[in-house]
């Protein structure tokens, strides 16, 4: 099939799959010279803007129609609307983000609800050790539950004092600063607690199961 007839989403997926295969065979990146007090992991470069990386689909979810389900291995399953989220005490954090495609952006101001506070509401069962995140565009990613218990992990509604835009995952996205940014799912729809690490969209296509930027876990 000619390239012009291949849907943009499929071309982007194929390109990233090739990238992951190639990088698995590449030598480790040399450490970056850091003028930023050790805040930039090896192999990363700083950007001032916030690049938009996705598969070409930006779900249009008005805040009034958005909801989030917290389910799975929990004692008290919970569904929240956007209005419900605003009633929960808001948390503000400043953190850095690191994308697997080699860019980092420092000093991002976030406002939203701490995932730790939501976990306290649903009360994970003892056997829950991981979370499977689902988004409105069908995207999925998995991560150990402990990363949702970190104080900087948030369900974000605002970035740098402005409502989160649609292209960046608004009205609500997940932000987990200690992992590569593909783990911070845009347009988040559900958090399911499970007893095993489940491969999500990119993990099934060659990306690392954890994605720790400080250990350069870009691909599995």
Q: Which of 14-18, 90-94, 117-121 has the lowest mean pLDDT?
A: 14-18
- The answer to whether the CB of 77 falls within 8 A of the CB of 125 is no
Give the residue-averaged pLDDT of 6-35: 50
pTM confidence score: 0.85
- The answer to whether the CB of 116 falls within 8 A of the CB of 107 is no
Query: Cα 93 to chain center, whole Å?
Result: 16
- The answer to whether the CB of 165 falls within 8 A of the CB of 49 is no
Give the residue-averaged pLDDT of 111-138: 97
pLDDT over threshold 90, residue 54: no
Give the per-residue pLDDT at 217: 97
Query: Cα 220 to chain center, whole Å?
Result: 17
Give the per-residue pLDDT at 127: 98
What residue ranges define each of the domains in the chain, with the CATH number in brackets? 3-51+58-215 (3.90.420.10)
pLDDT over threshold 90, residue 51: yes
Mean pLDDT of the chain: 89
């Amino acid at each position: 099939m000619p390239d012009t007839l291949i849907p943009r989403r499929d071309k982007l997926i194929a390109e990233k799959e090739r990238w992951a295969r190639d990088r698995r065979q590449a030598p480790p990146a040399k450490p970056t010279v850091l003028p930023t007090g050790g805040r930039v992991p090896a192999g990363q470069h700083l950007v001032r803007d916030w690049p938009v990386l996705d598969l070409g689909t930006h779900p249009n979810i008005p805040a009034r129609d958005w909801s989030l389900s917290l389910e799975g291995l929990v004692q008290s399953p919970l569904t929240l609307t956007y209005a419900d989220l605003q009633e929960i005490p808001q948390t503000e954090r400043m953190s850095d983000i690191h994308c697997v495609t080699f860019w980092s952006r420092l000093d991002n101001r976030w406002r939203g609800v701490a995932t730790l506070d939501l976990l306290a509401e649903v009360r994970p069962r003892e056997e829950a050790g991981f979370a499977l995140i689902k988004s409105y565009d069908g995207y999925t990613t998995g991560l150990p539950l402990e990363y949702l218990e970190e104080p900087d992990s948030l369900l974000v509604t605002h970035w740098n004092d402005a409502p989160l835009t649609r292209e960046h995952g608004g009205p609500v996205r997940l932000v987990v600063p200690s992992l590569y940014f593909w783990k911070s799912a845009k347009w988040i729809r559900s958090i399911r607690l499970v007893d095993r690490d489940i491969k999500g969209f990119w993990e099934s296509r060659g990306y690392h199961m954890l994605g720790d930027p400080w250990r350069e876990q870009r691909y599995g």
